[in-house]
Amino acid sequence: MTDIECRPIESSRPDLHRATASSNFEPTFRDPAGQLSLEEDCALRRVRPAAVDEALSFLRSPLRKQLEAAGDLIASEIVEAGSIPQANEGELWLRHPRIDPISYPWEWTPAQWRAAAELTLRIAGKAIDAGWMLKDATPLNVVFRGPRPVFVDVLSFEKRDPHSTVWLAYGQFVRTFLLPLAAAKYLSWPLQATFFWRDGFEPATLYRALPAWRRMSPALLDVVTMATLFEGKSGKQRKPQSRPSASDPELAAHILRKRLARLGRQIRAVAGGKVKSQWSGYEQSASHYQPADVDRKRQFVSGVLERCRPEHVLDVGANTGTYSLMAAEAGAEVVSLDSDSAALETLWRAAFERSKPVTALVANIARPTPAAGWNNREQLALLDRLAGAFDLVLLLAVIHHLLLREQAPLAHIGELCARLTRRWLIAEWVPPSDPMFQEWLRGRDDLYGHLAESDLNEAMAPFFSGAERCALGNGRVLLLFERRSGPEGEARTVPGADPA
């Protein structure tokens, strides 16, 4: 193992190993080859004895080095077994850098799905050329580090039979990548629905929902129509058949590459094109902002970024990303949330093209993604991934959404902000006289028509002190808050709030 770095595990947190042994987060407990646990500053992977030889072979391979150098595969280093109290004889332990926050497929835009699918196919193709094969091909093996997808399961690689023409993960790729994208494009099924479908969509599910003429589309003919019809005709269980193979290894590899190429064309067909929505053109069509208001707002945010120098920024309601990209330009790592997939996709594309550290998540902060999977222990809840991770939170033109559309009281909004930020908060107050406020008020004047900027300040007061104020010409107000230090600044349950 001279070419594989091996280090003891170190941590500044005394309970690190205890947390590893009793972790409630088990994203890979189904994997017979190993398990993964998240620690404070790394991810630890346990490789079971039966999988150690193949794992070491892959770690020593030129393929692993090539994929890591390209940024397509998570980095790995071997941990000395003696520094892992819970290590068993014959196990291998690996350490990977943490990618925060973890993103899940149901929080991606269609373009992100395509990028993750193309990464998987690219890695599968390079593996074939190097004598390896991907045995798993699911979006859950991909995490976004900023705008770039990264493959994170190093145990998904196995030695390839040079004569085999079968990619065993083909069906999984179709169910979990291709069919959800097809359903989103042709049936308007939101990608967020994959939250409920761990192994993707079955071909018959789409076949029944699609009109007859769409079933014959070149992108769907084999993976939906033919797959469904053949499955229906198969009837009872057939006798096991040997896997297709070729006597010439070059021919076998050629057949596999052609199959990957076809999948790539199908992915591009179902994920191509930009989608527009009500909010994707908001910044260009917002009549309640005059150019002077826009300039003043940008100057205020830019000034705060320059003075406060946050390293980690959360942009809630990021839309197409003007302020997310501004924060990234100022040197921050940014997480951008918006429930409008089309608007957020514009941001993701810009961040990707400009190589800016912006992680885009399709999410509604008022209805955050819950924990999921077996016993709610496979995927973390959104707020658990975000809590206390940011030096600055941007809440620009969002509070009135939370008030009027989600009916979230101001006190609860203040509590949520205190949970998210360690230091700074920029909030935009939209008064009841604002056209957007009036549009969404819908006769509820008695409930919300009396609200004023002072009510927002009162809601923030238990957690924040006011630092700066900037009034815009359209009546909106930008407020910079600083988190209070000491017990009075700790996030706590608002009186009258529903129990968590």
Q: Is the dihedral of CA 124, 130, 135, 136 positive or negative?
A: negative
Looking at the chain, the whole-number percentage of residues with pLDDT higher than 90 is 72
Q: What angle do CA 492, 402, 428 make, to 5 degrees?
A: 90
DSSP letters spanning 352-368: HHHT--EEEEE--TTSP
pLDDT tens digit string along 332-358? 999 999 999 999 999 999 999 999 999
pLDDT tens digit string along 144-179? 999 999 999 999 999 999 999 999 999 999 999 999
pLDDT tens digit string along 434-476? 999 998 888 898 888 899 999 999 999 999 998 899 999 999 9
**At CB < 8 A and 24+ separation, what contacts does 31-34 make?**
31/153, 31/155, 33/155, 34/155
Amino acid at 471: A
The answer to whether the beta carbons of residues 155 and 51 sit under 8 Å apart is yes
**At CB < 8 A and 24+ separation, what contacts does 12-17 make?**
13/40, 16/40, 17/84, 17/85, 17/86
The full set of domain ranges for the chain reads: 6-96, 105-235+242-271, 282-489
Q: 202-211, 389-398, 435-444: lowest mean pLDDT where?
A: 435-444
Average pLDDT over residues 424-428: 97
Give the model's confidence band at 495: pLDDT under 50 very low, under 70 low, under 90 confident, else very high: very low
Assess whether pLDDT exceeds 80 at residue 428. Answer: yes
Closest C-alpha to 82, from 4, 12, 10:
10
CATH topology classification for 282-489: Rossmann fold (3.40.50)
Assess whether pLDDT exceeds 80 at residue 488. Answer: no
Q: 287-296, 302-311, 414-423, 441-450: lowest mean pLDDT where?
A: 287-296
Token pair for residue 312?
A: 């980690």
Token pair for residue 430?
A: 């939209």
Tokens 């809601």: give the residue.
Answer: 459
Kindly state the DSSP code that residue 154 receives in the 8-state scheme: G
| Helix, coil or strand: residue 369 | coil
Give the mean pLDDT of the chain: 87
CA distance 360 to 337: 6
CB atoms < 10 A from the CB of 357, how many? 18
pLDDT tens digit string along 364-376? 999 999 999 888 8
Assess whether pLDDT exceeds 90 at residue 118. Answer: yes
Token pair for residue 386?
A: 């975000």
Give the model's confidence band at 76: pLDDT under 50 very low, under 70 low, under 90 confident, else very high: very high
Terminal C-alpha separation, the chain: 49
Token pair for residue 326?
A: 């501004």
CA distance 347 to 351: 6
**Secondary element (H or E) of residue 471:** strand 464-471
Give the model's confidence band at 32: pLDDT under 50 very low, under 70 low, under 90 confident, else very high: confident
Give the model's confidence band at 283: pLDDT under 50 very low, under 70 low, under 90 confident, else very high: low
Average pLDDT over residues 283-296: 74
DSSP letters spanning 59-105: HTSHHHHHHHHTTSB---EEEPGGG-TTPPTT-EEEEE---SS---G
| Helix, coil or strand: residue 147 | coil
ω into residue 101 within 30 of 0, thus cis?
yes
Assess whether pLDDT exceeds 50 at residue 412. Answer: yes
Give the pLDDT score at 212: 94
